[in-house]
Amino acid sequence: MRLLLLLLCLATPVSAQTRPLTVAAASDLRHAMQALQVEYAQRHPDERVRVVYGSSGKFSAQIEHGAPFDLFFSADEAYPQRLHARGHAAGAPRRYALGRLVVWVSGDDAPPALADLAAPRYARIAIANPLHAPYGQRAEEALHRAGLATLRPRLVFGENVSQAAQMVQSGAADAGIVALALMFGDELRGRGGYTLVEESLHAPLWQAFIVTRRAAGDARAARFADFVLSDAGRAVLAAHGFVLPDRED
């Protein structure tokens, strides 16, 4: 009898309610999302949420090829909009934050403004790879609009904005144009200094998320999405340097 019960258990597929909710999140969200997970777990202790971090463009491509993500929090709106248009989302994208760019150095010197990066001392400037990272795309745009396109040979690229910051932290780059939200993590908070990049130098970094087609009808995905947009979720995002969009109707 025990053997029969064991075989029945092994033969039973894992249901959507027993597997973790799997979230793909842009790397600028690492610290904010960890705080969101803690808050969410206090409200829903029986639900497991697993978060994977990386570049928005790579996650978008993976979802198009069937990667098993339930929600996708992008560092822009374009990737979620494209996934929705191609039938990979359970509903329309929803804005959750506006990101900001900063120029960051890890040393004790006064943080440079964007124009100061033209100085020879900043021989290596780290940004996220603009081929698939929205923060890298906006960093290139800001340099171009500021008349600093000639600095392109000095650029070194991280696979995502978090890796770009790590290059500065390790000394592999002299400065970085990275996400403000990363300055609120324990490993970077209070280390070096940063200056905000003028918002007029690049298109707004509105960030949106989708519930994927795989999670259509999964109540847990809807609950987590609603939590991020709730007062508690918005407070966490604001505490990590994000500007909040107007509330949805």
Task: List residues forming the annotated binding site.
Answer: 56, 161
- Residue numbers in the known binding site for molybdate are 56, 161
All residues at 6 or more sequence positions from 234 whose CB lies less than 8 Å from its CB, including other chains: 244
Is residue 77 within 8 A of residue 95, CB to CB? The reply is: yes
On the 0-12 / 13-18 / 19+ scale of CB atoms within 10 A, 29 is: buried
Phi, psi (degrees; rounded to nearest 5) at 130: -70, -10
Q: Which long-range contacts (CB under 8 A, 24 or more apart) does 222-225 make?
A: 223/44, 223/47, 224/21, 224/23, 224/40, 224/49, 224/71, 225/71, 225/94
